[in-house]
A and B are shown apart, each in its own frame.
Chain A
Amino acid sequence: MIEAFFNIEIMKAAWPIVLTGLWNTILLSLIVVPLGLLGGLILALLASIRHPLVRWPLMAWVDFFRAFPPLVLLVLLFAGLPFAGLELGGFACVAIAFFLNTGSYYGEIFRAGIDSVPAGQVEAARSTGLTRMQAMRYVVLPQAVRNVMPDLLSNTLEVVKLTSLGSVVAVPELLYEARQAQSITYNPTPIVMAAVIYFLLLWPVVRLLSRLENRALAGRR
C-alpha cells in the first residue's frame, strides 16, 4: 500500500516533473485569474448601463457561458477551432475558455457587488460633478469589491482548481505533469503528490475565506 501511494524512491524521481507542473499551474492561475476578473469587470460595467439593447444580449451571454460546462467549452475550442482555420495551442484555448466561463461568474459577482452599493452613493458623487465613470471607479467599485470579497475569493479558488482542466488539452500544469510521471513510473505516487500540493496551495485560501465569511456574518449581526 505504502509502496504504491507513498513510494519515496518514486517521489524523488518524479519531483522535478511535478515541480514543473506546479510552476505551470501557478503561472496559468496568474494568467487566467486576472483574465477572468477583467472579463467579469467588463461584463459588470456593461450591465450597469441599464439599456435594454445592452441588457438582453449581456444576460444571454452570461447565462450561456455559465450553463456551458467549462470542460466541454475547452475541448470544443481545442478540437473545433482548427476546423475554422484557427490553430491555437492548448494554453491559448485554456485562456479563452476561462475568459468566457469564469469571466461570466466573476461578472455576476461584480454585478451583485455594484447592486449592493446604495443609489445615494452615486447621487452624492454625481452631485459634486463626478462623471458616471468617475463615480463608478472611486465610489462604487471599491465598496462593491469589499462587499463581495468572500465571493470573489471563493470563485478564485474554483478557478485555480479548474486549471487542472488544462491537462485535457496537454497544457503541462500540475495534474498533467503528475500523470506524465505516473505513466513513466507505473506508480500512482506522483498523483498523490499533486493532490497534496493542490491541498497545500489552496488550504490557506480556504482558511482565509472562512475567516472572511465569519467576519461578514458577525458584521451583519
Chain B
Amino acid sequence: MVTNHIVDARAIHKHFGTLHVLKGVDLKVDERELVFIIGPSGSGKSTLLRCLNRLEEPSSGSIVVDGIDMLDAKTDINHARRRIGMVFQSFNLYPHMTALGNVTLALRKVAGKGRAEAEALGRAALERVGLAERADHTPGQLSGGQQQRVAIARSIALEPRVMLFDEPTSALDPELVGSVLEVMRGLRESGMTMIVVSHEMGFARNAADRVVFMDDGLIVEQGPPAAIFENPTQERTRAFIGQIQRH
C-alpha cells in the first residue's frame, strides 16, 4: 500500500464480543506530527492506540505504520513493534529489574545488542529523560514521575519511529506531571512522531499539531488545537470541551 503518512489506519472496527467499540476509524499521521486524542471515557481511545501496535487485534480495517502492513499475517509483528513505542498510564515498569534493566531488556533480547552496547544505549536513553543517576534504582525506589520517564526511556532506547502515549500523566500526583510533560516536549522537539491520549489541555494547546475528538467509537471532529478548543463545530465536541474545562 502506497502512503506518505507514517501512520495510516483505515476503517478500523473493533468488537469485544457484542460490544462494538471502534466503528470505522480513519487516522493518518504525518511524520513529526503530534496528534492529541481526546474524548469521553469508553469512547475507544485506548483501544484505537492498542490496535495500532496490535496489542489489540482489530476486527477489520487496515493499518500501515512506517510502510509496514501491521495486519498482514506475513509481517513479523515483534520486529514491527520495535518501531512503535508505547507508554502506559500505569507505567508498567518491570519491578524486579533496575531502571537500566528495564531499558536494556528489549535492546538485548529484541535488538540483539551485546551487554556493553545495550548498557551504553540504555544509559543514553535514561540521560535523555534526565535520570542517568537513577540507572541502578528499582521502580519501587522511584517516584511516579520518575517511573514514567524510565518507561519513556525504555521505548525511545529502541529508536522507534512513532510513540504512542495512553494517558501518560493520569496516574501521577499533580506536582509530578510537569517533569513527564517536559520529557514529552523534548521528544517532540527532537522530531518524534507522537500520538497522545491525554486530558492535559494546556499541553495540547501549546504542543499538539492536531487534536482529534473521539466519541462512541468514531472520530467526531479534528483540527488544530485552537479550532477544537475555541470553536468546535460539533455539538458533542462542544459539550465535552465545556465539561473538562469546568473541572
Contacts and interface: CB of A to CB of B under 8 A. Distances in A.
Interface string A124-155: 11111111001000110011001000000000
Nearest to B158: A128
Contact of B81 (A121, A126, A142): A126
Interface of A: 118, 120-121, 123-131, 134, 138-139, 142-143, 146
B82 A129 contact: yes
B88 interface: yes
Given A127-B81, A127-B84, A128-B82, A121 B109 contact: no
B121 to A, nearest CB: 13
Given A139-B94, A142-B96, A146-B96, A129 B78 contact: yes
B65 interface: no
Interface residues of B, number: 26
Majority secondary structure, A binding face: helix
A130 B78 contact: yes
Interface string B104-119: 0110011100000000
Contacts of B55: 123, 126-127
Contacts of A124: 86, 88, 92-94, 151, 154
A125 B96 CA distance: 13
Contacts of B84: 127
| Central interface residue in A118, A124, A128, by most chain B CB within 10 Å | A128
A129 B53 CA distance: 10
Contacts of A128: 81-82, 85, 105-106, 110, 154-155, 158
A120 B92 contact: yes
B111 to A, nearest CB: 8
Nearest to A127: B86
A135 to B, nearest CB: 10
A134 B109 contact: yes
